[in-house]
């Protein structure tokens, strides 16, 4: 028995729930990855990228919260526990230990590339399932693509 009565049909609830749970894992992982980079970064661009990464962390946490509360609102229990994130995130693994500034930027470019592909697939999957969840994914993707642009611009000499 569910705690929340879904405003969606059972089929759409499952489609939307799966997309939201996937997005939740990816976004919580992004928040942890960006903090990891924030702490382990070195190189002449340290300060600028250190600050930029904290903005990524703050944004990723907010996106994750939005996505998880949307899951709850359609009657799906969101799972954001460490083991779940570790197992199900679709983002590339982040390297261990101290990491140079240029490499951090390159890794984030790759990470955003993967994440945006996954988000755009979720937008499509929502086309028939739920207009409200789709609109939320569209809004998130706009933000992610903006951040992606900035890391790409920063990644070119």
**Can residue 131 be called a binding residue for a copy of itself (CB under 8 A)?**
yes
**Can residue 77 be called a binding residue for a copy of itself (CB under 8 A)?**
yes
Single out the residue of 14, 18, 62, 79 in contact with a copy of itself (rule: CB under 8 A): 79
**Can residue 106 be called a binding residue for a copy of itself (CB under 8 A)?**
no
Single out the residue of 17, 19, 22, 52 in contact with a copy of itself (rule: CB under 8 A): 52
Cα(91)–Cα(26) distance, rounded to whole angstroms? 6
**Can residue 65 be called a binding residue for a copy of itself (CB under 8 A)?**
yes
We find the least distance from the C-beta atom of residue 3 to a copy of itself, in angstroms, to be: 5
Listed as own residue / partner, the contacts of 140-146 with beta carbons closer than 8 Å and 24 or more positions apart are: 140/23, 140/63, 140/66, 140/67, 141/116, 143/59, 143/63, 144/112, 144/115, 144/116, 144/119, 145/116
Cα(96)–Cα(117) distance, rounded to whole angstroms? 25
**Shorter beta-carbon distance to a copy of itself: residue 59 or 136:** 136
**Can residue 4 be called a binding residue for a copy of itself (CB under 8 A)?**
yes
Which residues, 86 to 105, sit near a copy of itself by CB under 8 A? 86-87, 89, 93-94, 96-98, 100, 102, 105
With a CB cutoff of 8 Å and minimum separation 6, the contacts of 21 are: 71, 76, 78, 79, 88
Which residues, 12 to 41, sit near a copy of itself by CB under 8 A? 28-29, 32-33, 35-36, 39-41
Please count the residues of the chain. Answer: 157
Six token digits for residue 75? 């009657």
Single out the residue of 14, 50, 92, 118 in contact with a copy of itself (rule: CB under 8 A): 50
Burial category of 49 from C-beta neighbours within 10 Å (exposed 0-12, middle 13-18, buried 19 and up) = buried
**Can residue 9 be called a binding residue for a copy of itself (CB under 8 A)?**
no
**Can residue 113 be called a binding residue for a copy of itself (CB under 8 A)?**
yes
């Amino acid at each position: 028995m569910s705690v929340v009565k879904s405003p969606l049909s059972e089929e759409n609830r499952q489609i939307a729930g799966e997309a939201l749970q996937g997005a939740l894992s990816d976004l919580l992982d992004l928040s942890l990855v960006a903090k990891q980079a924030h702490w382990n970064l070195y190189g002449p661009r340290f300060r600028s990228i250190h600050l930029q990464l904290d903005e990524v962390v703050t944004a990723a946490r907010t996106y994750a919260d939005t996505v998880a509360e949307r899951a709850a609102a359609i009657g799906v229990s969101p799972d954001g526990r460490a083991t779940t994130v570790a197992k199900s995130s679709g983002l590339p693994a982040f390297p261990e230990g101290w990491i140079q500034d240029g490499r951090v930027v390159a890794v984030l470019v790759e990470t955003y590339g993967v994440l945006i592909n996954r988000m755009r697939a979720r937008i499509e999957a929502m086309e028939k399932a739920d207009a409200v969840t789709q609109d939320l994914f569209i809004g998130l993707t706009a933000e992610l693509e903006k951040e992606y642009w900035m890391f790409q611009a920063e990644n070119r000499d």
